[in-house]
Structure 1
Amino acid sequence: MTTPPDTFPAPPPRSEIDPLAVPGVEAPAIGEELLSVDGLVKHFPIRKGLLQRQTGAVQAVDGLTFNVTRGETLSLVGESGCGKTTTGRLLTRLLEPTAGKIVFEGRDISHLGEAKMRPLRRDVQMIFQDPYGSLNPRHTVGKIVGAPYRLQNVKTEHGVKRAVQELLELVGLSPEHYNRYPHEFSGGQRQRIGIARTLALRPKLIVADEPVSALDVSIQAQVVNLLEDLQKEFDLTYVMIAHDLSVVRHVSDRVAVMYLGKIVEIADRVSLYETPMHPYTVALLSAVPVPDTKRKGNVKRIRLEGDVPSPINPPPACRFHTRCWKAQEICKTVEPPLLQLAPGHQAACHFPENQAGATSTTPAATNQAGN
């Protein structure tokens, strides 16, 4: 059951709570650029010894460049440790970037102090991966979901309690849950509470970090459908971080594939799934389960050899060359730039797959029909 839009608690005028708002400047229209990232870097220093001198750094994110348009869903995918979650925390400024630029609605927020970032928190929110760890077990649902109103000093027409109850009803919970504690709910219900808290101030951008990975399969579809319904109803923009490529295909407008801190391919959903160009993307998609038993025998699994290199000392040039079946000498010495190889389709590879005029080669693969 959803609440009609006119009953949703309306936030106060932006000029009242945002000192960075520019008078006379309207919000961007649908399709315009909402977020822009240029050369984003995050290195975590490694310190040792009594004097805690830096001896190295974990290169979690190393030079990301992309943009997000208003109303779309951009998904970040890749193996564990590739830097997806770190990227999400950088976009929401929960982490300070080492270098690079984050521009939100035309304003550089890369290194804003806490005081200047606080009014922008209402526009950029995050849904956390763990529905158990993201909620304070000592607080009631009413206090958890109502926290954004208190922290931002936002007044609602009928009071915070009424606004929170409407939010709970909006995400499929009962208003009577207001006085209950998180331990009284299932995992799916807890994630709905987290979504309600995220929606409290009507944000423009939501970074969803693995929002369904900790949930039962039977509940995942409900949460995904809820997020899609909320996006349509309130014109939300999502940056979705996910492992499940089947979920990504269902919810995304564009997909960015990350490997060891870098984006190796970015394209619209249809183009990336039907004609992947980077060998790493080809290998990832070959691992997606095929529900159709008739097609399953024709799908070949590409098994990458070796482990993912350490982000403390990543391989030079192309970081994927140590596991790539197409790697040649140039891959070890020259880093491939992220170039547009087809309309709206970018890839960072010297020898891309599925490109017009290119010869597509795949390694000896194992037919899944025999597995």
Structure 2
Amino acid sequence: MSHRADKGGEGVNAPEALLSVQGLQKHFPVTKGLLKRQIGAVRAVDGVSFDVRQGETLGLVGESGCGKSTTGRLVTRLMEPTAGKIFFEGHDITHMSQSKIRPLRRDIQMIFQDPYSSLNPRHTVGAIVGAPFRIQGVQTEQGTKKAVQEILELVGLNPEHYNRYPHEFSGGQRQRIGIARTLALKPKMIIADEPVSALDVSIQAQVVNLLEDLQNELGLTYVIVAHDLSVIRHISDRVAVMYLGKIVELADRKSLYDSPMHPYTNALLSAVPIPDPARRKDRERIRLQGDVPSPLNPPPACRFHTRCWKAQVICKTEEPPLAELAPGHQVACHFPENVEQATAPAAAKVAQNVEEALHPKKPVV
């Protein structure tokens, strides 16, 4: 169990959203022939909406190819969105020009997945971590070298590593260098794309604890992209589950892990390893049939219906909206599970869907 305090619940005194994403889309065109005629588009992100409040951690989880990493790159404006809106501190940054977005880079930074390819092997650690100061033209009182050495010490590295090169470090140390570079300009928000997936399990815990300590000390806001539900449970306040470019469930950590409503979330949680053999026997393993459909031609209506054991006719004809079935718990499903947690109107709608599925209306001749 995590030792984090739940900060993600709704309330009167809940802080304003630092980041607000509304209907975000990213379609990659597929071309053919000499004239590069477009014949389709890969819908990597297809209508994603969420808010991230000051000081909280939002986890984005899902299978490979669900669009979670692309969402992170869109938020940091490393990619240009196809449609939708991105608001940071109330300002629309969706299509902001590069000249205007550069000062904003101080406030939104990204930790990349691979600590081996994200660091320039020709540059020293001092040059890598000091690059943000040089690019942004930021002057420090005691000089850039002193500032870089303080940041290295903050992330658990020796200040004497200033003149060393990336190849002289282990994977965990390289990721710490990447985190140090991210912290150089004291950002308000950090997007972490699979920050521990390339590391050994023993090192993963150290890096996750480091991220938590930095958040508490510096007041950071995180969006953590990961496929490891155990890591997300440990570090996140709220969790958004993505499937094929869409968010299918969004809730605070406790609600999602204790009472998951979407069948896909239940399948993901059933795959999390349990070290206790006695508890492992009591849990039912849900094995999804078939492969993830192609984002080039996703299934109509509910995109999960081709692999869902609860799918009915309505799932193939009508797309379920991302609706709030319980306080702070949003689900996009016609037949959610754990509906005893749902509010009365939501439970009534679910019951109506079940009744129509069991006793479909006959067409009028």
Identity across the alignment (%): 77
Matched residue, 1:283: 267
Tell me the distance in 1 between the aligned counterparts of 2:297 and 2:236. Answer: 32
Tell me the distance in 2 between the aligned counterparts of 1:58 and 1:281. Answer: 24
Give, as a single letter, the amino acid of the residue that structure 2 aligns with 1:32.
Answer: E
Partner SS for 2:105: helix
1:348 aligns with 2:350: no
Matched residue, 1:166: 150
Tell me the distance in 1 between the aligned counterparts of 2:16 and 2:127. Answer: 36
Give, as a single letter, the amino acid of the residue that structure 2 aligns with 1:280.
Answer: Y
Matched residue, 2:281: 297
Unmatched 5+ stretches in structure 1: 1-28, 362-371
Matched residue, 2:58: 74
Give, as a single letter, the amino acid of the residue that structure 1 aligns with 2:25.
Answer: V
Tell me the distance in 2 between the aligned counterparts of 1:326 and 1:261. Answer: 21
1:124 aligns with 2:108: yes
Give, as a single letter, the amino acid of the residue that structure 1 aligns with 2:20.
Answer: S
Matched residue, 2:130: 146
Tell me the distance in 2 between the aligned counterparts of 1:341 and 1:282. Answer: 16
1:339 aligns with 2:320: no
1:123-170 CA-to-partner distances (Å, cap 9, x unmatched) read 000000000000000000000000000000000000000000000000
Give, as a single letter, the amino acid of the residue that structure 2 aligns with 1:318.
Answer: C
1:5-39 CA-to-partner distances (Å, cap 9, x unmatched) read xxxxxxxxxxxxxxxxxxxxxxxx98221000000
1:33 aligns with 2:17: yes
Partner SS for 2:187: coil
Give the length in aligned residue pairs: 332
Tell me the distance in 2 between the aligned counterparts of 1:32 and 1:237. Answer: 12
Tell me the distance in 2 between the aligned counterparts of 1:338 and 1:65. Answer: 9
Tell me the distance in 2 between the aligned counterparts of 1:153 and 1:219. Answer: 34
Residue 294 (structure 1) shift: 1.7
1:65 aligns with 2:49: yes
1:60-105 CA-to-partner distances (Å, cap 9, x unmatched) read 0000011000000000000000000000000000000000000000
* TM-score computed with the length of structure 2 as normaliser: 0.90
Tell me the distance in 2 between the aligned counterparts of 1:314 and 1:294. Answer: 40
Give, as a single letter, the amino acid of the residue that structure 2 aligns with 1:178.
Answer: Y
1:255 to 236, 239, 257: 239
**Contact kept? 1:30, 1:70, Cα under 8 Å:** no
* Shift in alpha-carbon separation, 1:200–1:217, aligned structure 2, 3 A: same
Matched residue, 1:49: 33
Matched residue, 2:359: none
* Shift in alpha-carbon separation, 1:141–1:30, aligned structure 2, 3 A: farther
**Contact kept? 1:30, 1:71, Cα under 8 Å:** no
1:266 aligns with 2:250: yes
Matched residue, 1:92: 76
Q: CA RMSD in A?
A: 1.2
Tell me the distance in 1 between the aligned counterparts of 2:105 and 2:96. Answer: 12
